[in-house]
Structure 1
Amino acid sequence: MKELSRRNTFFVGLLLFSMFFGAGNLIFPPFLGQVSGKYVWIAFGGFIISAVGLPILAVVIVSKSKGLYNLASHVSPTFAIIFTIIIYLSIGPFLGIPRTGSLAFTMGVQPFLPKSIISSPIPLFIYTLVYFGIAFWLSLTPSKLINRLGKILTPILLLLIFIVFIKSLITPIGPFGVPKGDYSSFPFFKGFSEGYLTMDAIAALNFGIVITYALKSLEVTGEKAIISYSIKAGLIVGALLIVIYAMLSYVGASSRIISLNAQNGGEILTNAASHLFGGSGIIILGLIFTLACLNTATGLITSCSEYFSIISKNKISYRTWAFIFAFSSMLFANVGLTNILSFSVPVLNAIYPMAMVLMLCFLLNNLFSGSKYVYILVMLFTSIFSILDSLNQTVIHSKSITNLFDILPLYTKGLGWIVPSILGFIIGYFIYLLTRNKDAIPSN
């Protein structure tokens, strides 16, 4: 087995970071900073737990469990197949990948278009055709992603963000404002729930495949070595994310005075960049969004294609899957950023709690000897609540369901799933005690 140098380990970390740091990572921290105002660092504390802590935990857990499918198999093989496919499709061609293309266009190209054609669908179509063509080309050779993403594109991206942040320190835009909405009442919990929207905890469940191939391209072999370097890469990502999120949150919080009517973090960053750099600020911001989104799109196309080529037993090749996901993502991206974001919230609210409790159960696996009763009941209780709540907020709009859920502690703070999950764990654990030494699955 070949040992990686610190330099190469760092570049593997940059590769993983490049796949994490995309559309949501850029637009949510500035918005959090502006809306939370003087409570920005309290809200930021909650945000990094769900937007940084959980994704890195997911990297560690997926590495130790030898993949998302094996992790989900603790519930049942059928659940593992269904849940894994849902995760890959939601973070991939149905949501995550299209969002990168739409956001890159909105922030990198649209500001430079003549007003006469902004409303036309043609510019977005042409841009996404080229954008996903490049992402498809990059994804065709996963072994080269460390050189292309880790060593070239990501360092440029980090440098550009750093330049914007330093400029905001040298010439401050304005003071932090008064917190708005839920940020004034419970900023920590609101920040935690906003961390869902980055999709990173779910994305982390997918990226293990890409990192494994990247490590093998560096001649790292052996299961223990791959797990070890994957965890090290995850820790590097965590440190970088915290630093970058802090920078973006600060820029958002300090730009309240020039972005009073901004609807999202993209608008906030646009106003801030224009204020700090004038016309060139839009160019800098466009490059930041384009690089970040392209990196993530490439990583997601690669991970999804690797997974589906495996489950299809290579009857459909990796290259064919890559084309399918790149092409379908291009089509979905033309729906528009606003529509994609409005669709992403209920989907993430339904999936995120399920992903979190699955990871937490794995951490506690030895406590109940991997009993299926615990896994099944925890996932059952959590999924019933999260799916029903998500549907109620977007489709059903039933006051009876809302009133019932209002009884749950932390429901108004976006964490109502915690009590159903604990209840499922308690019941499952009680059954485990009654049937001890039966139906156990080891954690390793």
Structure 2
Amino acid sequence: MTFAFFLGAGNIIFPPQAGLMAGEHTLTAMLGFLLTAVGLPLIGIVAVAVAGGGWNGLTRDLPKSVATMMAVLIFIIIGPAFAAPRAGLVAYEMGFKPFLTAPDQLELTLFSIVFFAIAMLFSLSQGKLIDTIGKFLTPALFAALAILAIAVMVSPQGEIVAAQGDYVDQAFTKGFLEGYNTMDTFAALMFGMLIVDVIRKKGVESDVDTCKYLIMAGVIAAAGLAFVYISLFYLGATASTVANGATNGGEILASYVLALFGPAGQVILSVIIVLACLTTVIGLVSACADYFSSLTRFSYKAWVVVMSVTCAVVANVGLTQLISVSIPVLFALYPVAIVLIAMTLLRRFMPNPALAFRTVLGVSLVFALIDAAKVAGLDMSALSSLPLFDFGMAWLIPTTLTLVAMKFVGRVEANTVHS
């Protein structure tokens, strides 16, 4: 179930594009991508387990209002604003649109209504998520992906060519930043809570056992994701011949599958895409509804309906527009999520956890906003002297230095008071 939740639109459309652009530097780029798209989500699941399985545990050292605002923003991003509608759009663009003769806005609208209605029905049966997703949809999804992966490895459709763009000199960093697009670090923080709820509904009451099963689920999901990413990166790297002129990962994947399997390949690809996007949307809608029902007097089922309807409306904006709007937001908030995970795991080493959390998160947000403004097209050249500014990671060194300083600041204050 956890693997299926994570494996959505971004996980499938971004690796082939990165592989094609990285070319001879595919391995380096892939390592960077795996770090943010597999490593960080796994560590995020571990952090949720260490914190006791909930958002309150993760943010115990932050002011309640700040913690709530962070959670609301992340849930909006992975829910109705970006990730869930994007999954629906990818399902339409790659799983349904190729079979239409003259697709227009009406077909997209009708597909959105049907797709998110199905997701809503699955999400309403909250207690049966592990059965419906884990036992039925995931095996079908993984079988289709395994067929594709084996075919790519056995019969690559082209030679690996020279790297392009930023992948020439910055392959690892570019791959690392591309991993942001999966939004899985956000999802790990939120899915962790949902998975804990599912585990406990299966009769597991002990916190130690819950933590153990949560980490096991995270490891299984990470292994599955790594398998998918590696095969899709290799697919992209060997797609220069069959995907000449392709403008995005979806087109690369579609061209490659057509070359491998012929017209029947489109059916295989459609099954993969629709199942991957559907399972992810079910997870996102369920997680959002679960959280917002805890904040308000509205029930879980009411929030499922609200989320599903909102996602269907937003999905009609169009895939290109949605991705372009989401990128600056990701650059602003992804570093904060990374730092939150790191601080949760390092909390016991901090003399003053509350001061450390607030200071380090604040610094990461300030510098992440600089990266976000740059990506959004604003003139930030006055700050170009910042370390890693050109790489889109101006937040990293100031945040790391602040974190190290916090290891000593609390202790110094305590010694001063004692003396």
TM-score (norm 1): 0.90
2:268 is equivalent to residue 290 of structure 1: no
Question: Unaligned regions of 5+ residues in structure 2, if any?
Answer: none
Provide the C-alpha distance between the structure 1 equivalents of 2:414 and 2:191, rounded to a whole number of angstroms: 35
Equivalent-residue separation in structure 1 for 2:318 and 2:253 (angstroms): 19
User: Aligned partner of 1:424: which letter?
Assistant: T
**How many angstroms apart in 1 are the aligned matches of 2:135 and 2:197?**
16
Shift of 1:427: 4.8
State which of 36, 40, 43 in structure 1 corresponds to 2:22: 36
Structure 1: state its 5+ residue gaps.
Answer: 1-14, 439-444
Q: Distance in 1 between matches of 2:304 and 2:188?
A: 19
- Cα deviations by residue, 1:236-267 (Å, 9 ceiling, x for unpaired): 11111111111111111111112132221111
Alignment partner, residue 319 of structure 2: 337
Q: How far does residue 437 in structure 1 lie from its aligned partner after superposition?
A: 8.3
Answer yes or no: is the 8 Å Cα contact 2:141–2:275 preserved in 1. yes
Tell me the distance in 1 between the aligned counterparts of 2:16 and 2:204. Answer: 38
Over 3 Å counting, the alpha-carbon distance change for 1:76 and 1:250 in structure 2 is same
Corresponding residue for residue 2 of structure 2: 16
Q: Which residue of 1 aligns with 2:412?
A: 434
Deviations 1:338-387 (CA, angstroms, capped at 9, x unpaired): 11111111111111000111111222212213432221111111111112
3-state DSSP of counterpart to 1:92: helix
State the alpha-carbon separation in 2 of the partners of residues 34 and 98 from structure 1.
26
Which residue of structure 2 aligns with residue 69 of structure 1?
56
1:201 aligns with 2:185: yes
Give the paired residue count. 416
Aligned residue in 2 for 1:78? 65
User: Aligned-pair distance for 1:182?
Assistant: 1.1
Is 2:371–2:394's contact at 8 Å kept on the other side of the alignment? no
2:403 matches 1:415: no
2: CA distance, partners of 1:241 / 1:426: 32
After TM superposition, give the deviation of residue 26 of structure 1 in Å: 0.3
Per-residue CA deviation, residues 285-328 of structure 1 (Å, 9 max, x unaligned), is 1111100000000001001111111111xx20000000000000
Aligned residue in 1 for 2:162: 178
1:394 aligned residue: 376
The residue number in structure 2 matching 1:132 is 116
**Alpha-carbon shift at residue 72 of structure 1 (Å):** 2.2
CA distance in 2, matches of 1:339, 1:76: 35
Q: Is this contact kept in 1: 2:149–2:228, CA < 8 A? A: no
**Cα distance in 2 for residues equivalent to 1:426 and 1:240:** 34
> Residues 140 and 428 from structure 1, CA distance in 2 versus in 1: closer, same or farther, beyond 3 angstroms?
same
- Using the alignment, how far apart are the partners of 1:326 and 1:102 within structure 2? 14
Mapping 1:263-342, distance limit 5 Å = 263-312=247-296, 315-342=297-324
1:163 is displaced (CA, Å) by 1.1
Quote the Cα distance in structure 2 between the aligned partners of 1:78 and 1:434. Answer: 29
Q: Aligned partners of 2:350, 2:27: CA distance in 1, in Å?
A: 37
Q: TM-score, normalised by structure 2?
A: 0.96
For 1:187, the aligned partner's letter is A
Indicate if the aligned counterparts of 2:167 and 2:174 stay in contact, CA closer than 8 A.
Answer: yes
Paired residue type of 1:245: Y
Quote the sequence identity (%). Answer: 36
Q: Could you say which residue in structure 2 is the equivalent of 1:26?
A: 12
Counterparts of 1:387 and 1:292 in 2: how far apart (Å)?
32
Q: Which amino acid aligns with 1:150?
A: G
